[in-house]
């Protein structure tokens, strides 16, 4: 805008200068005509024409630049209106933020907003079936959220006492700051004790519960940075409570998932080992049965051989008994024949020998 104003001013000055030059040229021309000098009059006339042409061009430039400057001024005015409107919106937002800050100082709304932040994180990163909000135990205890890994549950609490942490920033001096930090630590410890009740293996939970801190700076100040007044990390570890920020919660959940997978693999390996032991026991029993069956088969084969030998001996005895019976039968038949013709086979020898010749 300033550059445009400078250009317009310079153009106006140029226009004024050309106008003065035109007036001067007109006076010179009248003087030349009065002096009756044709050459001087012609030169002055040509100069007057050139000055008028330059004066017209400069006037056109001044008009063009003035229109552009007016457009720029209109745009600047509109931008100033937008800036004023946005400034009003910022002021309204600042008042709303102040009201929200006052609202979040109450424990119940603060817990509600923490639950909303936790729900958003879980919904953005996990399937809907992998987590549940406001999960109730059989004894009536209710936790803000649980994440499911198979048949195991990971409990997560989202009601971190942020209002006590904000009070630390309003300390008037170092001593007051230390007192406020100690009070904040005591409140956080009481809340950690409450979160530790969510660890119920009988309900299917893992051996740890998560304490969700919805602000990274709070997580760092009170849990990640070493501080003698806020020694909360060791206290949480002793109660099996794991503090987690929006950036570390998902990393912790992935570690839990890998750990549960490792436990499942270990249980599968243990079950496989048990089954292998049972198979080895059954193999030993089968070997014993095979040994007994082999002994029975050996005994049966031996008895079979003995039976074959006894059968052979019995057959020989029976055959021997049959031969002796035949001899006795023959003797018995010979004794029973008649004795009148003692030589029946020699009857032909008693025939007269004279009949031997024809």
pLDDT, tens digit (0-9, with 9 covering 90-100), for 43-70: 656 766 776 676 677 767 767 777 777 7
- pLDDT interval class at 32 (50, 70, 90): low
**What pLDDT is stored for residue 198 in this prediction?**
94
In the predicted structure, residue 112 carries a pLDDT above the cut 90 = no
Range of weakest confidence among 108-122, 195-209, 244-258, 285-299: 108-122
**What pLDDT is stored for residue 330 in this prediction?**
60
Cα distances from 311 to residues 163, 296, 303, 308, 320, in angstroms, run: 108, 22, 12, 5, 14
Residue with the larger pLDDT of the pair 55 and 149: 149
In the predicted structure, residue 348 carries a pLDDT above the cut 50 = no
Beta-carbon count within 10 A of 280 CB = 10
Strands (DSSP E) contained in the chain are 131-136, 142-149, 152-157, 209-212, 241-244
HSE value, Cβ hemisphere, 13 Å, CA-based, for 86: 6
- pLDDT interval class at 34 (50, 70, 90): low
In the predicted structure, residue 88 carries a pLDDT above the cut 60 = yes
Could you tell me if 131 and 148 are in contact, meaning their C-beta atoms sit under 8 angstroms apart? yes
**What pLDDT is stored for residue 5 in this prediction?**
55
pLDDT, tens digit (0-9, with 9 covering 90-100), for 252-295: 888 877 877 777 787 788 888 888 888 888 888 888 898 898 88
**What pLDDT is stored for residue 71 in this prediction?**
80
As given in the structure block, the two tokens for residue 172 are 């008037």
Per-chain mean pLDDT for the chain: 75
The percentage of residues in the chain with a pLDDT greater than 90, rounded to a whole number, is: 9
Q: Which of 9, 7, 20 is closest to 51 using CA atoms?
A: 20
In the predicted structure, residue 96 carries a pLDDT above the cut 60 = no
> Angle at the Cα of 55 (from 49 to 57), degrees rounded to 5?
105
In the predicted structure, residue 105 carries a pLDDT above the cut 70 = no
Ordered by start, the domain boundaries in the chain are 2-98, 111-247
**Separation between Cα atoms, residue 189 and residue 206, nearest integer Å:** 21
Give whichever of 21-35, 88-102, 254-268 has the largest mean pLDDT: 254-268
Element (H, E) at 113: helix 107-125
pLDDT, tens digit (0-9, with 9 covering 90-100), for 308-339: 888 888 888 888 877 666 656 666 666 555 55
Residue 53 burial (C-beta neighbours within 10 Å; 0-12, 13-18, 19+) = exposed
Residue 17 burial (C-beta neighbours within 10 Å; 0-12, 13-18, 19+) = middle
pLDDT, tens digit (0-9, with 9 covering 90-100), for 152-203: 899 999 888 877 788 877 888 888 888 888 888 888 889 999 999 999 999 9
């Amino acid at each position: 805008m300033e550059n445009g104003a400078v250009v317009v001013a310079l153009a106006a000055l140029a226009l004024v200068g050309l106008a003065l030059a035109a007036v001067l040229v007109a006076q010179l021309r009248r003087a030349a005509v009065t002096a009756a000098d044709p050459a001087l009059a012609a030169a002055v006339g040509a100069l007057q024409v050139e000055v008028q042409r330059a004066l017209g061009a400069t006037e056109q430039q001044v008009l063009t630049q003035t229109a552009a400057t007016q457009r720029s001024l209109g745009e600047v005015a509109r931008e100033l209106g937008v800036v004023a409107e946005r400034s009003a919106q910022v002021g309204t937002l600042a008042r709303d933020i102040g009201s929200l800050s006052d609202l979040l100082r109450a424990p119940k709304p603060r817990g509600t907003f923490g639950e909303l932040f936790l729900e958003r994180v879980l919904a953005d990163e996990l399937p809907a079936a992998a987590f549940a909000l406001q999960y109730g135990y059989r004894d009536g205890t209710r936790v803000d959220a649980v994440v499911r890994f198979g048949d195991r549950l990971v409990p997560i609490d989202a009601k971190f006492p942020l209002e006590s942490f904000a009070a630390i920033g309003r300390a008037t001096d170092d001593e007051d700051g230390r007192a406020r930090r100690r009070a904040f630590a005591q409140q956080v410890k009481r809340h950690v004790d409450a979160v530790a009740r969510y660890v119920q293996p009988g309900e299917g939970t893992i051996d740890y519960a998560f304490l969700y801190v919805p602000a990274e700076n709070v997580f760092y100040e009170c849990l990640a940075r070493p501080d003698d007044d806020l020694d909360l990390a060791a206290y949480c570890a002793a109660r099996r409570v794991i503090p987690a920020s929006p950036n570390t919660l998902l990393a912790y959940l992935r570690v839990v998932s890998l750990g549960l997978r490792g436990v499942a693999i270990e249980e599968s390996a243990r079950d496989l080992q048990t089954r292998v032991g049972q198979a080895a026991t059954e193999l030993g029993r089968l070997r014993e049965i095979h040994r007994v069956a082999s002994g029975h088969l050996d005994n049966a084969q031996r008895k079979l051989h003995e039976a074959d030998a006894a059968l052979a001996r019995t057959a020989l005895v029976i055959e021997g008994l049959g031969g002796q019976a035949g001899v006795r039968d023959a003797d018995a038949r010979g004794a029973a024949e008649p004795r009148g013709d003692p030589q029946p086979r020699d009857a032909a020898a008693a025939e007269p020998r004279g009949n031997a010749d024809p």
